[in-house]
Chain A
Amino acid sequence: METSNIEYSISPNFTEKDIEILKMYFELSKKYNPVISEALTADLADHPLWGPIMKQQNPEQRKAQNEKSLAMQHAAIYKGKWEEYSKELLSQGVLYAQMNISYTDWYELIKMYKDYLLPYIKKDFADSAEKAILYLEGLSKFIDFAMYGIAEAYFAEKNRIIRANEERFRAIFYNSTDQITLIDREGLIILANQIPQHYKKEDIIGKSILGFQTVGNDEIVKKAVHSVFDRKESSVFETLHLSGEKKLFYSSSISPIFSDNGDVNTAVIISRDLSLQKEAEEEVKELNRSLERKVEERTKELRDAVKELESFSYSISHDLRSPLRAINGFTHILKDSYPNGDEEVVDAMNEIIDNTQRMGHLIDDLLEFSRLGRAELTKTTVEMRALVETVIQELTRVPSERKINITLQRLEKVTGDQNLLKQVLVNMIDNALKYTSKKEQAVIEIGSHVKGNNIIYYVKDNGAGFDMAYYGKLFSVFQRLHSATEYEGTGVGLALVQKIITKHSGKVWAEGEVGIGATFYFSLPKSGKETSI
């Protein structure tokens, strides 16, 4: 704790006669001090203020302090060392102030001491009233001196402490960026830490809070003021102010200040200017709005682009297929018209026919691919085993010389679009059949297993396989890893598979090794919901 610097002392103007009677006082005090001190300590043990203070010292310490005090009194009275003694008194005063002991409490203690002393005075001076009076005069002089000294220091220290506290609160109050306003029961402003721009202090202090702070917000503030004084409750409120062109947004809290008896005659309003924050919020909102508008615009553009593509692919089906049909048809007619034609010419005509047919397939696949992109899923429970069996039946309907061994493992049912999933199986199984066509014995295995929330289906074959180095091209439209003469195809099949599975929130992947075989996988969510592989 900080302490005052006591740089002053008190020099009493005692006469020689005064000193004589002080000596009388001292002799008696010295004689009875130990007894009185002990009695006083015992009696004050349960005193709310002095009890705890006294307990801080043990009897030895107390005794030592008493002796020290007596020694200093002795030095003062007998040897004129008042300055030293007064310093001791002053430091006691400071101590009491710091301990927050009130002056009257301390005075009470002195009085008690005096009362304890009186019976001894009566006893010792029973034979001489004159001596008794002199003694009492000495006591009175000494106490006056001591009280004066202590009081001086005590109040000096008290003031210092109060000033220090006030400084602290002033610093908080006046340096706060919040507007802090004290009002009385009438809503009149007692104190304000900030005087707003364009105002003078006298425009604010003593004026109603309604007029000054809250143009257009009177009802809100009235309610808050009413609540704080009548119900003694804190509350928060928000107000809007106009400062020139600018809108200022304030958020305030109002709290009661309780006096010692519990009354509320003053309240404090703390207001914060949230305009910048509001502005930032508005800005964020506006940004979001413009972002949404942009997204909308872009979405519309995209939709238009998709529509354009749709009508493009739609016209492809007519405009490209018709001439092909003509080329194909008339080449046929030509060929039929010259049944004994030149071998080279017939060969050329066959090439034309084959190529137009191939291009026809390409267009059909491409159309199918774009149609799927637009198709809505119609989800039902799909019995995959039955579906796989149907597909195999359809694909192997044409009798062939080939040795094909197809094994079906467990095939989980799943939620999905039956027609589209059939398309997936047709493509995958057809691929397996196609790429095993050059093997003496085709071995194909189809199965599924559950992994987490997904079901993983696979079609495994011992066919031509593929080089994992070109894996990136596997599922792209018109990308092929084998030439059309080796294995026919348009390069749309797996792209279609990927599109369908993606639409089902699933994934497609594959493993392969050239000459050994390939395994194609696709995952579908078990519940028809999102997948995460």
Chain B
Amino acid sequence: MNDPVEILLVEDSSSDAKLTIKALKQKNLCNNLVHLTDGVQALDFLFGRGTYAGRQVENKPKIILLDLNMPKIGGLEVLKEIRNDDKTRLIPVVVMTSSREDRDIVESYKLGVNSYIVKPVGFDNFFKAVSELGLYWLLLNQPPKM
């Protein structure tokens, strides 16, 4: 449970999660990936609450891939909580969603998202987008010391 986490994938669609994981795997970026399926789980995980009580919250993911439309607590709310707390505010968050609505994009950036990706329908594009995303955030990007 306390292995270092690299990617936190918050995604309620199991299909999308599987495809995302597959894409990341192909680039060998998937060793320390945690997949959660709603906002409540995500917040519990990040703040060591509920089912994740006792988790070492210092063990922060290098990147959070966040879906917007999820049951219980949605992605935007999760993003807001992350940015509101000193412990989590510096974690890079990439919104990955089907929504290309302006209000979602604008709201995400207002809340301090690092990147906003509209999931393509076509597998080739999707695959390319996810793997490039993984490469960029995990290998190229220089995060601040947390």
B101 touches A324 (CB 8 A): no
Q: How far is the CA of A329 from the CA of B121 in the complex (A)?
A: 8
Convert B118-145 into 0s and 1s, putting 1 for each residue whose CB lies closer than 8 angstroms to a CB of A. 0111111011000000000000000000
CB-CB under 8 A from B2, the residues of chain A are none
- Chain A residues 340-364 with CB under 8 Å of chain B are 353, 356-357, 359-360, 363-364
Q: How far is the CA of A318 from the CA of B122 in the complex (A)?
A: 15
Decide if A99 is an interface residue (CB 8 Å cutoff).
Answer: no
CB-CB under 8 A from A371, the residues of chain B are 101-102
CB-CB under 8 A from A360, the residues of chain B are 120-122
Given A324-B121, A353-B123; A318-B15 close (CB under 8 Å): no
- Chain A min CB distance to B101 (Å): 6
Q: How far is the CA of A333 from the CA of B22 in the complex (A)?
A: 9
Q: Pick from A322, A328, A333, A359: contact of B98, CB below 8 A.
A: A322
- Chain A min CB distance to B51 (Å): 26
CB-CB nearest in chain B for A322:
B13
B126 touches A329 (CB 8 A): yes
Given A318-B69, A322-B15, A333-B22; A328-B101 close (CB under 8 Å): no
Give chain A's interface secondary structure class. helix
Q: Pick from B98, B102, B124: contact of A317, CB below 8 A.
A: B98
Decide if A78 is an interface residue (CB 8 Å cutoff).
Answer: no
Given A326-B15, A326-B19, A330-B15; A357-B122 close (CB under 8 Å): yes
B100 touches A317 (CB 8 A): yes
B123 touches A314 (CB 8 A): no
CB-CB under 8 A from B18, the residues of chain A are 330
Decide if A321 is an interface residue (CB 8 Å cutoff).
Answer: yes
Given A322-B15, A333-B22; A328-B99 close (CB under 8 Å): no
Decide if B107 is an interface residue (CB 8 Å cutoff).
Answer: no
Q: How far is the CA of A457 from the CA of B19 in the complex (A)?
A: 46
- Chain A min CB distance to B15 (Å): 3
CB-CB under 8 A from B119, the residues of chain A are 321, 325
CB-CB nearest in chain A for B122:
A357
Convert B13-35 into 0s and 1s, putting 1 for each residue whose CB lies closer than 8 angstroms to a CB of A. 10110110010000000000000
- Chain B min CB distance to A65 (Å): 109
B100 touches A329 (CB 8 A): no
Q: How far is the CA of A404 from the CA of B9 in the complex (A)?
A: 48
Q: How far is the CA of A318 from the CA of B68 in the complex (A)?
A: 10
Chain A positions within 8 Å of B, measured between CB atoms, are: 314, 317-318, 321-326, 328-333, 353, 356-357, 359-360, 363-364, 367, 371
CB-CB under 8 A from B98, the residues of chain A are 317-318, 321-322, 325
- Chain B min CB distance to A313 (Å): 9
A357 touches B100 (CB 8 A): no
- Chain A min CB distance to B82 (Å): 22
A322 touches B122 (CB 8 A): no
CB-CB nearest in chain B for A358:
B121
Question: Mind listing 12 A-B residue pairs with CB under 8 Å?
Answer: A317-B98, A318-B97, A318-B99, A324-B121, A325-B15, A325-B98, A328-B123, A328-B126, A329-B15, A329-B22, A330-B15, A353-B122
- Chain B residues 98-124 with CB under 8 Å of chain A are 98-102, 119-124
CB-CB under 8 A from A330, the residues of chain B are 15, 18-19
- Chain A min CB distance to B134 (Å): 16
Given A332-B123, A360-B122; A325-B99 close (CB under 8 Å): no
Q: How far is the CA of A367 from the CA of B97 in the complex (A)?
A: 15
- Chain B residues 68-102 with CB under 8 Å of chain A are 69, 97-102
CB-CB under 8 A from A322, the residues of chain B are 13, 15-16, 98
- Chain A min CB distance to B67 (Å): 9
B121 touches A325 (CB 8 A): yes
Given A325-B119, A325-B121, A326-B13; A317-B101 close (CB under 8 Å): yes
Q: How far is the CA of A501 from the CA of B62 in the complex (A)?
A: 47
Most buried by B among A321, A333, A363: A321
- Chain B min CB distance to A320 (Å): 9
A323 touches B100 (CB 8 A): no
B99 touches A314 (CB 8 A): yes
CB-CB under 8 A from A333, the residues of chain B are 22, 123
CB-CB nearest in chain B for A313:
B101
B121 touches A356 (CB 8 A): yes
Q: How far is the CA of A335 from the CA of B15 in the complex (A)?
A: 17
A325 touches B19 (CB 8 A): yes
- The 7 lowest CB-CB distance pairs between A and B, nearest first, are A360-B121, A326-B15, A332-B123, A329-B19, A329-B123, A321-B98, A318-B98
Q: How far is the CA of A141 from the CA of B131 in the complex (A)?
A: 147
CB-CB under 8 A from B122, the residues of chain A are 328, 353, 356-357, 360
- Chain A min CB distance to B111 (Å): 19
Q: How far is the CA of A330 from the CA of B14 in the complex (A)?
A: 12
Q: How far is the CA of A356 from the CA of B123 in the complex (A)?
A: 10
CB-CB under 8 A from B97, the residues of chain A are 318
CB-CB under 8 A from A314, the residues of chain B are 99, 101
Q: How far is the CA of A513 from the CA of B124 in the complex (A)?
A: 39
Q: How far is the CA of A441 from the CA of B123 in the complex (A)?
A: 35
CB-CB under 8 A from A325, the residues of chain B are 15-16, 19, 98, 119-121, 123, 126
B121 touches A357 (CB 8 A): yes
Given A357-B122, A360-B121, A360-B122; A326-B16 close (CB under 8 Å): yes
- Chain A min CB distance to B129 (Å): 11
Given A326-B16, A329-B126; A321-B101 close (CB under 8 Å): no
CB-CB under 8 A from B99, the residues of chain A are 314, 317-318
- Chain B min CB distance to A330 (Å): 7
CB-CB nearest in chain B for A354:
B122
